[in-house]
Chain A
């Protein structure tokens, strides 16, 4: 492997890691600010100008709390749980294409840590491992309420993973590839003029039902309201992280925000065209390729950040589901809907022959 490629990839990985952490850090702050704005309040605005240092204060608080480990026979698993949850949350960002290619120093740099051809499968696989983080944490706590919370959380995540996987199949039938980069490149520009009828090139306009199902499942997967039964801050015991304190609890909460960021990025890539934006061909022709690429990166992050905002927006609008309603929605509505969507998509592909 040539050394320049190694440096380039290492730089991308470091930058992506840094940006992911930074965005997750400020998501916690954003959540509190947006929450208060939705409730006609002002929110935290005392730490630094406009409260900009609040995440740091929260972090220092988390680190300096007593790190309590309950009397459990599984001390290793107790520590391993949050570690696993955090790792799986971070690993997913490696296959996400953040931008098109940059031409620097005579090299074309692909703004992606790893372009693997089974990226969608990889994401789903890693996300499924995340369930173990919750399950291990709840089980190793040696506390029946934590165990119940963990079971509740993992059964919810597993149920919604089915509907999520099925909804994405309809999209994959259209794209014919599992590589996230190819999926983005197929959604080039905004309007596709090549067909007999010009139509929007982004997948959300081709597969609106798959998008809705995927979106709802993404909420359930990241344990966000209205599907935040694993935590239920206001009603039930803390759930799987009841026994956790200090930074181990911080890891669980922080990983949730990373998950939120990654899933918004995935939604942006699969359904909203990733780094594509209207007029990108004009931009690359008139302003320059690198500028157009950087604009694309900006657009990608704008879409992702709007996704995070949307998560928070929904959180302060929709009340929490009851557990049976949650299971009803997952198994009796979303799964049949996505299967029907697959059948219809297949029929259309068969009839139109493309």
Chain B
């Protein structure tokens, strides 16, 4: 029975292990240790993989999904119209918003008649899937290359408009 089982390999990658006696040179161990020390010495002179973080930063991939940003259009007006599609698409239910109506004289602030008066993303809930970015019909929300920084309080991770809306370049 045992001999039948020996050749069965479900994965097709089974290796037959041999317990053959070691030769004299193998029993000495010293040649093997010398070989191993050669390998470690080679690593000693290899270029190091460490990235010295605060000075040097690792390049993210171009499709990296980091913290969100609410874009402005070319006139500096917010693109978001508070349609709520991002909140709907969000699998983690991290996005909440309330909508407001644009008053006279606010045309330079908001692009369309309806805008988000508050817009919050809970960064602790967010899984950075990028579905909000995909769902947005106005190209208002994007995921950027940087990470949300650490904080001491949970409240600090609920990002409001002051943190999310793109800074006005003026």
Given known pairs A40-B43, A212-B30, the reply for A317 and B49 (CB within 8 Å) is no
A42 within 8 Å of B by Cβ? yes
Interface centre among A212, A313, A317 (most CB of B within 10 A): A317
Across the two chains, which residue of chain A brings its CB closest to B33? A318
Cβ–Cβ contact B41 & A40, under 8 A:
no
In the complex, the answer to whether B40 meets A316 with C-beta atoms within 8 Å is: yes
A40, A45, A313: the one contacting B46 at CB < 8 Å is A40
On whether the beta carbons of B40 and A38 are closer than 8 Å, the reply is yes
Given A313-B40, A313-B41: A42 touches B33 (CB 8 Å cut-off):
no
Interface residues in B1-58 by Cβ distance below 8 A to A read 30, 33, 36-37, 39-41, 43-44, 46, 48-50, 52
* CB pair B44 A37 closer than 8 Å: yes
Alpha-carbon distance between A45 and B50 when the two chains are bound, in angstroms: 12
> Please, what's the 1-or-0 string for A42-82, where 1 marks a CB less than 8 Å from any CB in chain B?
10010000000000000000000000000000000000000
Rounded to whole angstroms, the CA-CA distance of A313 and B41 in the bound complex is 8
What residue in chain B is nearest A319 (Cβ atoms)? B36
Interface residues in B50-95 (C-beta closer than 8 Å to A): 50, 52
Render A258-284 as a binary contact track against B, CB cut-off 8 A, 1 for contact.
000000000000000000000000000
* Interchain CB contact (< 8 A) of A313 among B37, B48, B49, B52: B37
A107 at the interface (CB under 8 A from B): no
Flag whether A352 is at the interface (Cβ < 8 A): no
A108 within 8 A of B: no
Assembled-state Cα–Cα distance A300/B108 (Å):
80
The smallest beta-carbon distance between B56 and chain A, in angstroms, is 11
A222, chain B: closest CB distance, angstroms: 18
- Decide if A41 touches B37 in the complex (CB within 8 Å): no
Residues of A within 8 A of B36 (CB): 317-318
Q: Which residue of B lies closest to A226 (CB)?
A: B33
Query: Across the interface, which residues of B come within 8 angstroms of A45, CB to CB?
Result: 52
Contact B48 A41 (CB under 8 A): yes
B152 to chain A minimum Cβ distance, whole angstroms, is 24
Cross-chain contact A41 with B49 (CB below 8 angstroms): yes
> How many whole Å from A309's CB to the nearest CB in chain B?
10
In the complex, which range does the number of interface residues on chain B fall in? 10 to 19
Contacts A37-B44, A39-B43: A314 and B37 contacting too (C-beta < 8 A)? yes
Q: How far is the CA of A80 from the CA of B50 in the complex (A)?
A: 42
**In whole angstroms, how far apart are the Cα atoms of A40 and B50 in the complex?**
8
Q: How far is the CA of A316 from the CA of B37 in the complex (A)?
A: 9
Main SS of chain B's interface residues? helix
Bound CA span A34–B44, Å: 8
Question: Which chain B residues lie closer than 8 Å to A212 at the CB level?
Answer: 30
Docked CA distance A317–B133 (Å)? 50
Contact with B along A316-347 (1 / 0, CB 8 A): 11100000000000000000000000000000
A212 CB to nearest chain B CB (Å): 7
Q: Kindly supply a per-residue 1/0 record for chain B positions 125-166, scoring 1 wherever the CB is within 8 Å of any chain A CB and 0 otherwise.
A: 000000000000000000000000000000000000000000
Q: In whole angstroms, what is the CA distance A45 to B52 when docked? A: 10
Residues of B within 8 A of A41 (CB): 48-50
Q: Which residues of B contact A314 (CB under 8 A)?
A: 33, 37
Distance in angstroms between the alpha carbons of A212 and B49 in the assembled complex: 35
**Chain A nearest Cβ from B88, distance in angstroms:** 46
Assembled-state Cα–Cα distance A212/B33 (Å): 13
Which chain B positions have C-beta within 8 A of A318? 33, 36
Report the bound CA distance from A45 to B53 in whole Å: 12
State the CA gap A39–B50 with chains docked (Å): 10
A317 touches B50 (CB 8 A): no
* From A38, A212, A313, residue with most partner B Cβ within 10 Å: A38
- Closest CB-CB distance, B67 to chain A, in whole Å? 28
Residue ID in chain A nearest B30 by CB atoms: A212
Known: A38-B43, A39-B43. A317 touches B48 (CB 8 A): no
A230 to B43, CA, bound (A): 28
**What per-residue 1/0 map shows which CB atoms of B112-129 lie under 8 Å from chain A?**
000000000000000000
Residue of A nearest to B52 (CB): A42
Quick one: closest B residue to A309, CB to CB? Answer: B44
> Do B40 and A317 touch (CB < 8 A)?
yes
Q: Find chain B residues with CB under 8 A from A317 CB.
A: 33, 36-37, 39-40
Q: How far is the CB of A72 from chain B (nearest CB, A)?
A: 40
Which residues of chain A come closer than 8 Å to B44, judged between CB atoms? 34, 37-38
Known A-B contacts: A212-B30, A317-B33. Give 15 more (CB < 8 A): A37-B43, A37-B48, A38-B40, A39-B43, A40-B49, A41-B49, A41-B50, A42-B50, A42-B52, A45-B52, A313-B37, A313-B40, A314-B33, A317-B36, A317-B40
Can you list 24 A-B contacts (CB < 8 A)? A36-B48, A37-B48, A38-B40, A38-B43, A39-B43, A40-B43, A40-B46, A40-B49, A40-B50, A41-B48, A41-B50, A42-B48, A42-B52, A212-B30, A313-B41, A314-B33, A314-B37, A316-B40, A317-B36, A317-B37, A317-B39, A317-B40, A318-B33, A318-B36
